[in-house]
Amino acid sequence: MRQFRKHKSWHPTKKLCYKQYSFVIRIGAMLRGHDVVVPTEFSKYRRVDREDGLTYKQPPAFTRTCSIYTNDLRLIQYLLSTYNELILVLESPYNEQHAEYLNDPNRNIIYRDKPWYHKYHHKLNVYESWRQSNKPNPALVIATFQELFQSADSKWSGQGKEPIQFYHSSRWFSYPPIYTNNEASIMLFKLAHGDVLRLSVETIVTPEFLK
């Protein structure tokens, strides 16, 4: 996966395409009558052909661009070796960790230069939901916050306070977002409270974070 980063047209994948593909190769601009041929041995991909318009060369001619979306590394290698000079864009995960993030349906990936508070790469959002028949105990949830997300690697509003101070009698309890670098604690929190709470994770990916 890392070898693709050496290509002159490489960019990191920012989101799954069609909710399943981590790799994109865009080939063009080809004159009408020319085509990208994918051997029949490859079947796990999606292809989109687009007419680009007329060239400025004489005589004018229509051109087209072919985009291939796939997770098949063999197909990527074939396209690179066959159409390398025509490749406009090659998108792939930065590494295996990046691919894992992309395939996590409960994680939103954000691309920017700095993490939260210049330090934290993950943000855990916790919500109560009317869809859950079992109501969580807010004091118990906050106690888990205190146990798993400590100041050494995490930050959240109310950190260090007694759990009972957070409780109130309104219908829905509002939990503070947790900023952290401790992914293990996020997983433990999901195991402890994922059955009664709605959870989502945001991860900031900086150029240095995935190295």
The string of pLDDT tens digits covering residues 66-100 is 999 999 999 999 999 999 999 999 999 998 889 99
Q: Are residues 10 and 88 in the same domain?
A: yes
- The reported pLDDT for the residue numbered 93 is 93
In a domain, 56, yes or no: yes
Cβ contact 201:191 at 8 Å: no
Total tally of structural domains belonging to the chain = 2
In a domain, 32, yes or no: yes
Q: Are residues 60 and 123 in the same domain?
A: no
Q: Are residues 60 and 153 in the same domain?
A: no
Which of 98, 114, 133 delimits the end of a domain?
Answer: 98
In a domain, 129, yes or no: yes
**This prediction's pTM:** 0.76
Q: Are residues 17 and 49 in the same domain?
A: yes
In a domain, 211, yes or no: no
Q: Are residues 32 and 89 in the same domain?
A: yes
Q: Which residue has the higher pLDDT, 171 or 72?
A: 72
Q: Are residues 77 and 41 in the same domain?
A: yes
In a domain, 43, yes or no: yes
Interhelix angle 183-193/138-148, nearest 10 degrees: 160
In a domain, 13, yes or no: yes
In a domain, 210, yes or no: no
Q: Are residues 108 and 94 in the same domain?
A: no
Cβ contact 83:9 at 8 Å: no
Contacts of 116 (CB under 8 A, 6+ apart): 123, 179, 204
User: Alpha helices, DSSP H only, in the chain?
Assistant: 73-83, 96-102, 138-148, 183-193
- The reported pLDDT for the residue numbered 169 is 46
Q: Are residues 112 and 93 in the same domain?
A: no
Q: Are residues 119 and 88 in the same domain?
A: no
Q: Are residues 7 and 75 in the same domain?
A: yes
24, two tokens: 């994109």
Q: Are residues 163 and 93 in the same domain?
A: no
pLDDT at 55 > cutoff 60: no
- The reported pLDDT for the residue numbered 48 is 95
Q: Are residues 55 and 73 in the same domain?
A: yes
Which of 32, 67, 98 delimits the end of a domain?
Answer: 98
Give me the domain span that covers residue 12: 2-98
Which of 38, 65, 98 delimits the end of a domain?
Answer: 98
Q: What is the average pLDDT across 132-155? A: 88
Cα–Cα distance between 147 and 117 in angstroms, integer?
A: 22
Cβ contact 80:24 at 8 Å: no
